[in-house]
Structure 1
């Protein structure tokens, strides 16, 4: 299935006051913990389950693609004052709404921006979206397209080096996944996906040069070790596993030949970008017998109760319409692609594989359409034949040319016979 895994993390915002212990809120971002001690300063010490974290010494701790392995108690310390433990709980489920870039990956050039698309069951007007830049949170405008059942927000970093975007259903604590975008001022960019990589899925890492020059060669590195040289600019991991975790970068050789045929050859390195592959939530499975479909999820938690079914018509692959059925079995009539997932209350299983149905009803509809086309073609063919015959006899025919003053026998002898 071509779906991404989004981890839902339950966070509460707690603010620290002067003279009190610093707290560890995340604001409303699911990947950052902020040591918020009023008047405090760096260095900051972080503890996970009472173990010091040597790699985190800033006032914020960024958790990349959090999984249940990140569950536990977090503490921070500033100016010899230590926070109360903060418990982080990660649900291994897809959230109720999906936020993803319309194009591009996790890295953007300075001053650039792009659209993020929000998809969810139900009315998207009930959702609001936000961005966290540094330690400041801002609300964003949401452009809802009811016909396509999607909404769009415009994502830009402004002056921040990174920003995290997410959406929330109004008057609830239900959220979408978070999308983190990073800024680079380098000419060469290593662009990983903007969402976590699922184990077993293909992952494409792109080496991109600003301005769109002709890329002559791209050399890819993992943890500073060369892994591949390519003229296509893309390194594809066909079956991602956790052994693929690491920091990737690339070295590009390129020319701006579209500006000048004699453009000089240039080279440049990208910044290192982290790739983390996660196992992902359990996936639903569809089994079929003629037009009866069954949805199951053998590895789903016990609290996954109802089912959600979706239909995509063959002639419009960009629409996925939610059906009214919520049982494990459905009977279908319309042709198209069908998928399902389990509803687990605070999140979903992964989508099932797509099942393509072209049953009796769909075939009869298609046959009816083909019948109309064949009849129209036959009528057109007959009209063309009639026109050819009429034109033939108008042009050709038979002409008798007689000489005046001769008898009938002479006339017959003098006649000139024309025909085609």
Structure 2
């Protein structure tokens, strides 16, 4: 650590990430993890106030209005409603403005899980696939765990492939965020991987859920498919009991984040004793706003009425 005086402020280097220094001044500092650019609908973000080492609790303001009281502000599923000016107040000092802009459309590239689930056992691994129609030359991926972000180089076999599959490292922490980017201008969506010690896990399909569309919740058990009954809970309230492991929701309500869990009654193969009954972890289920989409007309015309401007077109 070192310090310096400039323009009357006392500054101290508190961290260095990818050769970018984060400075802490006498005023509170707002910084974001993971460090994404640009930010799209559905992204998971954390805004931090100061380094929080003195134990004080920060007060957050959004567009001048008090929003929350905590050292870290979580945005579980970003939308255009989250765009604006953020400030935090700590120890009587107000931070400079932190301007957050969330775009309503999806990234140009897609990152998806090909083997595994969004919730896995500790020390497990999953396979991720990055896809981009214009090729992957010049792309790399990043992995974020808490305050630390690491870069992953892609070992491409062909000159400019449109897809690439890679294996994650062992999942050892509660939450790991993967995404990929190129030249800090183009990027993929995030894939958020979580860990559990439980035998029972709650999964959602599709991931993420989209407001106004259907969603399926599944109560899965490691090591068996013999789930005879599942009970689903929303904010600790029993909302549905089904035979089997699947609960189909015809229409998801407004965008936001709601907390779900499930209880499974299940057996393992050749089990003769009474069935097991266990709960899953409580899981945040983000519901995203419907992203801006292209429209294909009866005459094969491609347009985007909701786009800020018309760009390139590609037919499949």
Normalising by structure 1, report the TM-score: 0.62
Structural RMSD (CA): 2.7
Change (3 A) 1:71 1:243: closer
2:59 aligned residue: 45
CA–CA separation in structure 2 for the residues paired with 1:188 and 1:162: 18
For the pair 1:167 / 2:177, whether they are aligned, the reply is no
Change (3 A) 1:270 1:49: same
1:224-235 alignment, distance < 5 Å = 224-235=236-247
Structure 1 residue 41, shift from structure 2 partner? 3.9
The superposition leaves residues 176-197 of structure 1 with CA deviations (integer Å, 9 ceiling, x where unpaired) of: 1112222111221112358421
Matched residues, number: 289
SS of the aligned residue for 1:53 comes to strand
SS of the aligned residue for 1:192 comes to strand
For the pair 1:33 / 2:47, whether they are aligned, the reply is yes
Structure 1 residue 172, shift from structure 2 partner? 3.4
Cα pair 1:188 1:252 within 8 Å, conserved:
yes
The superposition leaves residues 205-238 of structure 1 with CA deviations (integer Å, 9 ceiling, x where unpaired) of: 1111122252121111122222221222111223
For the pair 1:306 / 2:291, whether they are aligned, the reply is no
* Bigger mean CA deviation after superposition, 225-234 or 150-159: 150-159
Change (3 A) 1:60 1:246: same
Normalising by structure 2, report the TM-score: 0.81
For the pair 1:206 / 2:218, whether they are aligned, the reply is yes
1:191 aligned residue: 203
Q: 2:301 aligns with which of 294, 297, 306?
A: 294
SS of the aligned residue for 2:262 comes to strand
1:240 aligned residue: 252
User: As a proportion of its length, which structure holds more helix?
Assistant: 1
SS of the aligned residue for 1:102 comes to strand
1:140 aligned residue: 152
SS of the aligned residue for 2:96 comes to coil
Gaps of 5+ in 2: 1-19, 37-42
Cα pair 2:211 2:254 within 8 Å, conserved:
yes
Gaps of 5+ in 1: 1-12, 311-420
SS of the aligned residue for 1:69 comes to helix
SS of the aligned residue for 1:118 comes to strand
1:371-386 alignment, distance < 5 Å = none
CA–CA separation in structure 2 for the residues paired with 1:23 and 1:277: 26
1:153 aligned residue: 166
Structure 1 residue 243, shift from structure 2 partner? 7.7
CA–CA separation in structure 2 for the residues paired with 1:231 and 1:157: 34
Change (3 A) 1:141 1:206: farther
